[in-house]
Structure 1
Amino acid sequence: MTKKERIETGWNFDNSYARLPKSFFSGLSPTPVRSPKLIILNHSLATSLGLNAEDLESDEGVAVLAGNQIPEGAFPLAQAYAGHQFGHFNRLGDGRALLLGEQITPLDERFDIHLKGSGRTPYSRRGDGRAALGPMLREYIISEAMHALGIATTRSLAVVTTGESIIRETELPGAILVRVAASHLRVGTFQYAAQWVTIEELQMLADYTLDRHYPGGDVAENRYLFLLEEVIKRQASLIAKWQLVGFIHGVMNTDNMTISGETIDYGPCAFMDTYDPETVFSSIDIQGRYAYGNQPYIGGWNLARLAESLLPLLHSDYAKSMEMAQNAILNFNKLYQSNWLAGMRAKLGIFNEEVQDQALIEDLLAIMQKYRADYTNTFRALTFDKLGDMALFETTEFAEWHVRWQERLGRQEESKASSHLLMRKSNPAIIPRNHRVEEALEAAAEHGDYSVMDRLLNVLSNPYAHSTEQEEYAALPEPSACPYQTYCGT
């Protein structure tokens, strides 16, 4: 790409990660694809990144998005990391993805530009390094829906088909997702460093992370304890937000927990319909390790692994280092619970705090579970006081709970109108329901019809609008004998 083309498109790369020791990555170029074709481009995201969408849609722009052409200033690399996958520790790395570089935006923000499905790397093991169209479109839909819900997440700039087929259970069209992230630093990055590089290099990684995400560490009494505490805060907030909208990640391995506090890796994930803490969507999570109700516990478990990795930096005395790490981790549950309670109060229109609030919330959830109520639609119905078409609302238990709730609302200074507005802002009208996502993917990947996905993305872009066009997307799927499942690798 010429300098003129770079300026017109707006690419403005830096490569700070590449300035870390080479033990943290392998530099290499994407494997070119036969016939790249742009399927979808996120115009608003492109603009915020300082990119010219029209130029990205040109042949030269698509060549960059597909990995066939390296823009000026980029330094493609595959990152090394490790991770506990379903509790088992493995040495990993980007097996089918490459970091092109870091785009510096007009507001001087820094974002990774990442190609997923770009070919084999030194970390591919037995994989082919490629990705199928359906799963890449799925990540595009879910990540953009999460962003619209106000949940920290990696985002999707584009999906490009490769003109090549890949073999999974069947032959599938290949594709590349262009992912955007504050960074791709993971808990697993620090686990890798603690296990396979020197303490000096671990410290360099920690210093890099502080400079990139947590500049307040410069004035902290212990900068590495500060790093641990700040990651804990962000993850406590993030996981609480997942729970509040019924999102189930499905594969909360330590390599899928970011240091920045963004949601990453939309593989076997989905949104819960019927409220049940034991809900699992991953086909391989037979034990329910990553069930909806377990996500807060797993978040704390993963952060304990980060704390272990930072032990050599926290204090020269091992016992003191352990004590500092344990105290920090013990605070996670308190922070999570505080975030979750605040969010649940908002979902019920409650502004102030009372000791009995947790019991009020938990009693509602217990009734919802007993009568298999839809999670999103229950809170939506409460928001608009439309309690007519769900079995839950006809029960004595709910009637008694409803009286308690109204009494609770009456004990605060804010008006009923203020509570209603708070609930509107806290309870989405729609989520990317599994049957709607699958409907869009089938139309796109199997029939080349992207109109279904376009309509879905449009209504998901403002989930708190509560508009008439969102009504049909709030409808539940038809009953099925087969539980909904997703698969790792998606």
Structure 2
Amino acid sequence: MTPIAFDNSYAKLSDRFYSPLSPAQVPAPAWIACNTELAKDVGIDPQWLASDAGLAMAAGNQLPAGAEPIATVYAGHQFGSYNPQLGDGRAVLLGEVIRPDGQRVDVQLKGAGRTPYSRGGDGKSPLGPVLREYLLSEAMYALGVPTTRALAAVSTGEPVYREQALPGAILTRVAKSHLRIGTFQFFAARQDHEALSQLVDYTINRHYPAATQAAIPALALFESVVAAQAELIAQWQSLGFIHGVMNTDNMLLSGETIDYGPCAFMEAYHPGKVFSSIDSHGRYAFGNQPAIGQWNLAQLAQALLPLLDEDPNMAVEMAQQALNEYPDKFFAAYHQRMAAKLGISQWQAGDEQLYQDFLDLLAEHQCDFTLAFRRLFQLAHPEYEAPLSDLFAFPEAFTPWLSRWQGRRDGQPDTDESVRRAMLQANPLFIPRNHRVEQAIHAATWENNLAPFQQLLAVVTQPFDARTEWLAYAAPASPDEAVQRTFCGT
């Protein structure tokens, strides 16, 4: 068995899509984490990955045969303002591998040094952002959310200078691809319709092959991406996840979550909650995420117009019709997830008001989003779980709503295992709470202690299991622990 069998396709496109380059060498790489389970899943020899040769690859010091390292170019709207050229400023795509199930995935190093798109930066990463992305992406996977994943994390043995000297690190990331809305915008803005057409064909073949049979493949691609983004953001909303930087260069056409910089899970529920230190106007607040998803898709539609129809008016009409499907698709997915969270087997008229009234009560009483929904699961199925009263109890003001909810569930087959399982899988007990993430980063950065990171990783990758020895990890932050702002990894 070849330890890692690269089968690269993006590097076979013309070099207008990327710049070939090698990762920077680092002086003293050492393991932080090695995801051998994921390695096996994507067809990489886990024993090889955990070896010195795998460490050398994860550090960028020695690349296996078949790797074709490149940095990809793209553009993007950042907080609503268009930047005509961004690109991988600190990431190097080593190549692609094909999973045993036939799915092609990228293997990328993040923090691997300067690229032609670094815009004056050093292209490196401090330890903190690497640990954050490892924790958050693996937690999201455990929660069932489509996401890029962390294959490995290594320290580099050299400092990275930001406001102060920090230990450097590199993340090895796996994704279905790194094709972004901004990738399409880059070529559309240059009116490079040939490259745009190649990109559409490539994306269809890689992610949405059924679109090849459509009368207008580019339109079918757009419709598929609309559906994937609607489903993804519905999952974010159902879990209280705030992405924090929904720029078009951070939205993948595969429908995976990418970029775990200024992101967070809400504790006290509020639709206007913002964590990103740079989102001063709340553009990417929690409650705005569904609408921003549609706004981003409109930018993709704009980029695809030349490939939809020779008549610009007809092209706009087709794109608009497809874009108009987004709200219905989002709410269909969101209603399904909220029904599961409430233990409702079949969505009915009036259920939207039921969950909205619950959210309004959570906001009014500053209740923890995750624990409140988990408490509903415990009330619905007390035989399966010990009480969480030490962690969370509903205020008296919830009593009328709880009676409505119990009434709505009356007549449902409570013994139906599928309803119970769906409710459990929709209501995690453990999320990567901000203060725990920051504690793990602080211990690793300033005390050279990875134990808090390793323990937190174990907890958040088993988010539904109510293990009593872990219950402290389910508790919200105390006032002196609360993290109010998160920062971009650059």
TM-score w.r.t. the length of structure 2 is 0.95
Q: Does 1:258 align with 2:252?
A: yes
1 CA distance for matches of 2:183 and 2:242? Answer: 23
Mean Cα displacement is larger for which, 61-70 or 95-104?
Answer: 61-70
1:468 aligns with 2:461: no
Is 1:351–1:414's contact at 8 Å kept on the other side of the alignment?
no
Q: Deviation per CA, 1:273-292, whole angstroms, max 9, x where unpaired?
A: 00001111101111000110
Could you tell me which residue of structure 2 aligns to residue 449 of structure 1? 449
Q: Following the alignment from structure 1 to structure 2, what is the Cα–Cα distance between the partners of residues 413 and 56?
A: 48
Q: CA offsets, 1:365-391, max 9 Å, x none?
A: 001100000000001111112585688
Q: Residues 198 and 451 from structure 1, CA distance in 2 versus in 1: closer, same or farther, beyond 3 angstroms?
A: same
Amino acid across the alignment from 2:34: L
The residue type equivalent to 2:396 in the other structure is T
Alignment of 1:37-436 (within 5 A): 37-90=30-83, 91-196=85-190, 198-385=192-379, 386=387, 388=389, 393-396=394-397, 398-413=398-413, 415=415, 419-436=419-436
Rounded to whole Å, the distance in 1 between the matches of 2:487 and 2:313 is 42
Gaps of 5+ in 1: 1-6
The answer for the alignment partner of 1:3 in structure 2 is: none
Partners in 2 of 1:16 and 1:420 — Cα distance? 43
Equivalent residue number for residue 9 of structure 2: 16
> What CA deviation, in whole Å up to 9, does each residue of 1:271-329 have, x standing for no partner?
10000011111011110001100100110000000000000011111111000111111
The superposition leaves residues 401-436 of structure 1 with CA deviations (integer Å, 9 ceiling, x where unpaired) of 111111111144554776444321210011011111
Q: 1:388 to 1:176 in 2, by over 3 A?
A: closer
Letter in 1 for 2:394: F
CA contact (8 A) 1:94 1:121 kept: yes
Measured after TM superposition, the shift of residue 36 of structure 1 is: 1.4
Structure 2 residues not aligned, in runs of 5+: 380-386
Residues 49 and 399 of structure 1: CA distance in aligned 2, closer, same or farther (over 3 Å): same
Secondary structure at the residue paired with 2:137? Answer: helix
Q: Is the 8 A contact 1:368 1:392 kept in 2?
A: no
**Is the Cα contact below 8 Å between 2:435 and 2:481 reproduced in 1?**
no
Note if contact 2:36-2:47 (Cα within 8 Å) is conserved in structure 1: no
Any idea what the Cα deviations from partners look like across 1:248-279, whole Å, max 9, x if unmatched? 00000000000000000100001100000111
Cα shift at 1:88: 0.8
Question: What is the CA distance between 1:477 and its match in structure 2?
Answer: 1.1
Deviation above 4 Å: which 4+ runs of structure 1?
A: 386-392, 413-419
Q: Quick check: 1:384–1:420 contact (8 Å CA) kept in 2?
A: no
Separation in structure 2 between the aligned mates of residue 400 and residue 482 of structure 1, nearest angstrom: 31
Q: Which shows bigger deviation, 349-358 or 460-469? A: 460-469
* Secondary structure of 2:169 counterpart: strand
Secondary structure in 2 matching 1:158: strand
What is the letter of the counterpart of residue 451 of structure 1?
A: A
Amino acid at match of 1:364: F
What is the SS of the residue equivalent to 1:74? coil
CA spacing shift, 1:226–1:134, aligned 2, 3 Å: same
The normalised TM-score by structure 1 is 0.95
Compare 37-46 and 184-193 and name the one that shifted more: 37-46
Q: Which amino acid letter does the alignment assign opposite residue 245 of structure 1?
A: L
Q: 2:340 & 2:425 partners in 1: Cα distance?
A: 8
Count of matched residue pairs: 482
